[in-house]
Amino acid sequence: MKDTREFSFEIPNNFDSLQGSRDKIRNFLEDSNFSSLEKNRILLSLDEAITNIIEHGYTDQKAGTITVQLEMNKEGTHFKSSLIDDAVKFNPLMKAKVNPNDFIEESRDGGMGIYNYIHLMKVEYEERPQGGNILKLNYTKKV
C-alpha cells in the first residue's frame, strides 16, 4: 500500500494556464485534513510562485513548460510540491528581505508573492543542471 498520493501535470508558460493549475491544485487538496485556511495558504503560495515563474522567468518570450508535482501523505497532513521549469535561473531564497509595511506605505504593485510563500511554506530551491529551476514548497498541518 502506498504511503503517499501523487499527481503531476504540465502547463505552458502563459497566464491563460493559471486557472487550470489552480483548479488542479485545489482538487488535489480536497481530500486532505488541512483546514480551509491552510488549503488557501497552500493554493496562494503555489499560485504566486507559478505566476512569478511565468512573469519573470521567461523574459525572452520563448515558449516553456512548467511541471507541477504534488504529493501528500495518506493522512492528508503533509503536502509537498515541486515546480520544475526551464526558465532563467532564479533562487527566491536569495531575494532581499522585504518589509510588508513598505508595500503599504509606498502603494507598491507586486513584490509580495515571494514574501508570502516564504513565510507560509517551507521553501527549498535547486538549480537544474540542464538549465532552469526546481522550487519546492512544502506544508505540514499545524496542530
Look at residue 104 in the predicted model and tell me its pLDDT. Answer: 56
Phi, psi of 99 (to 5 degrees): -105, 115
**119, amino acid identity:** H
Which of 5, 94, 81 is closest to 47 using CA atoms? 81
Q: What CATH number is given to the structural domain containing 128? A: 3.30.565.10
49-62 pLDDT tens trace? 999 999 989 887 78
74-113 pLDDT tens trace? 999 999 999 999 999 999 988 756 666 665 565 555 567 8
Look at residue 99 in the predicted model and tell me its pLDDT. Answer: 63
Look at residue 61 in the predicted model and tell me its pLDDT. Answer: 77
| Higher-confidence position of 139 and 113 | 139
**Is residue 96 classed as helix, strand or coil in its secondary structure?**
coil
Taking the C-alpha atoms of residue 134 and residue 132, their distance in angstroms, rounded to an integer, is 7
Torsion of CA 46, 24, 63, 60, to 10 degrees: -20
| Higher-confidence position of 25 and 2 | 25
Q: Can you give the residue range of the structural domain that contains 12?
A: 4-140
Banded pLDDT at 13 (limits 50, 70, 90): very high
Number of domains composing the chain: 1
Look at residue 116 in the predicted model and tell me its pLDDT. Answer: 87
14-48 pLDDT tens trace? 999 999 999 999 999 998 999 999 999 999 999 99
Long-range contacts of 107-115 (CB under 8 A, 24+ apart): 113/48, 113/49, 113/51, 113/52, 114/48, 114/52
Given a cut of 70, is residue 67 above it in pLDDT?
yes
Contact of 81 with 29, CB cutoff 8 Å = no
**21, amino acid identity:** S
Look at residue 63 in the predicted model and tell me its pLDDT. Answer: 87
